[in-house]
Amino acid sequence: MGQDIAGIILAGGRSRRMGGGDKSLLALGGDSLLGHAVSRFAPQVGPLALSANGDPARFAGIGLPVLADVVEGFAGPLAGILTGLEWAAANTASETLATAAGDTPLLPRDLVERLVAAAGARPGSIAVACSGGKWHPTFALWPTEARAALRRFLVDEDIRRVSAFIDRHGFVEVEFSLLKSGEHEIDPFFNINTPDDLAAAARLLQSIKP
């Protein structure tokens, strides 16, 4: 599935709310936080790379090429997405790039399939995931031809908000259902920012069926 779609997983942030270091490599339920995202996302795409800053050697165990941001200074996820679009255009035959954040251990297993279906209804647009009425702009399908406009937006206009670019470019939304865990509903895009989030995710992984 999705073998003609390129993908990147974003793991290039500064993890300040986690206390610095690199949250993506923290242990969670017998794997790393990033390992969970890779396991769910990798089967959904063809060529796949990790978008990350700093020493790539720390990701050797993940087994993916590591792309350092083409814009310096931790410019945020949009810098990783621009890097991924330029990588996909130069190194793959794909005309679209699927993106996912590496701090989201329950990301949907049908993410790319559903984004592709929605984008097909409005060619050239960005397909973006939502749940519970909330946008998740780092979980999206991007036409590689958007990269020049994205570079102008990020570098020349110095606007970093992913949602602002999506809004300007044109988009379709794809709604994902909440997951059930007993009486509770869990957002599949629940992402890990703090030590408390990590502890909550460890509890969730025990209670949710894969």
Ligand X SMILES: Nc1nc2c(ncn2[C@@H]2O[C@H](COP(=O)(O)OP(=O)(O)OP(=O)(O)O)[C@@H](O)[C@H]2O)c(=O)[nH]1
| The binder of ligand X chosen from 35, 80, 108, 188 (CB under 6 A) | 80
CB nearer to ligand X: pick between 27 and 209: 27
Residue type, 157: E
Q: Which of residues 10-29 bind ligand X (CB under 6 A)?
A: 10-17
CB nearer to ligand X: pick between 117 and 187: 187
| 10 in a labelled binding site | yes
Query: Angle at the Cα of 127 (from 110 to 79), degrees rounded to 5?
Result: 105
The number of beta carbons lying within 10 Å of the beta carbon of residue 39 is 14
CB nearer to ligand X: pick between 71 and 117: 71
Measured CA to CA in angstroms, residue 163 lies from 28, 127, 182 at distances of: 29, 12, 33
Who's near 196: CB < 8 A, 6+ residues apart? none
Interface region with ligand X, contact rule CB under 6 A, candidates 8-16, 38-46, 145-153, 198-206: 8-16
- Compute the distance between CA of residue 177 and CA of residue 36 in angstroms, rounded to an integer: 19
| Min separation Cβ 102 and ligand X, Å | 5
| Min separation Cβ 205 and ligand X, Å | 18
Under the binding rule (CB under 6 A), the answer on residue 32 touching ligand X is no
CB nearer to ligand X: pick between 26 and 117: 26
| The binder of ligand X chosen from 64, 75, 106, 150 (CB under 6 A) | 75
Under the binding rule (CB under 6 A), the answer on residue 70 touching ligand X is no
- Compute the distance between CA of residue 59 and CA of residue 16 in angstroms, rounded to an integer: 19
- Classify residue 95 as exposed, middle or buried by CB count within 10 Å of its CB (0-12, 13-18, 19+): middle
Under the binding rule (CB under 6 A), the answer on residue 35 touching ligand X is no
Q: Which of residues 177-206 bind ligand X (CB under 6 A)?
A: 193
- Compute the distance between CA of residue 121 and CA of residue 58 in angstroms, rounded to an integer: 40
The answer to whether the CB of 122 falls within 8 A of the CB of 166 is no
Binding site listing for Mg(2+): 103
Residues that bind ligand X (CB under 6 A): 10-17, 51, 53, 69, 74-77, 79-80, 101-103, 138, 193
